[in-house]
A = this chain, B = another copy of it.
Amino acid sequence: MASFVRTIPEGDDRERLTCADCGFVAYENPKIVVGSVVAVDGQVMLCRRAIEPRRGFWTLPAGYMEMAETVEEGARREAWEEARARIALEGVLAVYSIARIGQVQVIFRAGLAEPGFEAGPESLEVRLFDWAEIPWGEIAFPSVHWALRRWRESLGAPLGAPATNPPEDARGTSPMEGSAL
């Protein structure tokens, strides 16, 4: 297997992960997570994770964007993969930066395009929660808290400019919890 070292490639201005065997430069770019707060009759959809990190904790239907898709297509794909839900997007709710792990999250506000949902392979369970029932102590990641609060604030009004990180973690550098959604 390759061994990677950090060096500054010629013509570049910062260190990059470079294969010591063949010189391949693995440019590390921030990764994009796409996901949605899906609401049905005022209840929000959460998925209980079947995989690490944070197995057993609740999260939004969200995951890494793939090549050759749009953010909208990625958000719909993830809702299908994780919750077997066909969703209708209403607009961008939030754009979060998790600088600590090089991640940008584009979170939509959404509803169901067709009735029905169930756990996909990466979920143990998918449920709708009344706001008062949300298991805040069992939420997988800080950004899920942020997105849910933002969703709540956005109700009953046209969707304004998307939220960015809350002031208490403006750069997404808090060492809390796992990394990937």
Interface residues of A (CB under 8 A from B): 1-2, 14, 19, 21-24, 26, 28-32, 64-73, 91-92, 95, 97, 99-100, 102, 104, 106, 158-162, 164-165, 170-172
Question: What residues of chain B lie closer than 8 Å to A97, measured between beta carbons?
Answer: 69-73
Say which residue of B2, B26, B67, B164 sits within 8 Å of A30 (CB atoms).
B67
- With most chain B CB atoms within 10 A of its CB, the pick from A1, A19, A100 is A19
**Integer count of this chain's copies in the complex:** 2
Question: What residues of chain B lie closer than 8 Å to A164, measured between beta carbons?
Answer: 70-72, 92
In the complex, A30 Cα to B141 Cα: how many Å? 23
Say which residue of B66, B68, B104 sits within 8 Å of A71 (CB atoms).
B104
In the complex, A41 Cα to B94 Cα: how many Å? 29
Report whether A69 and B99 are in contact in the complex, using a CB–CB cutoff of 8 Å. Answer: yes
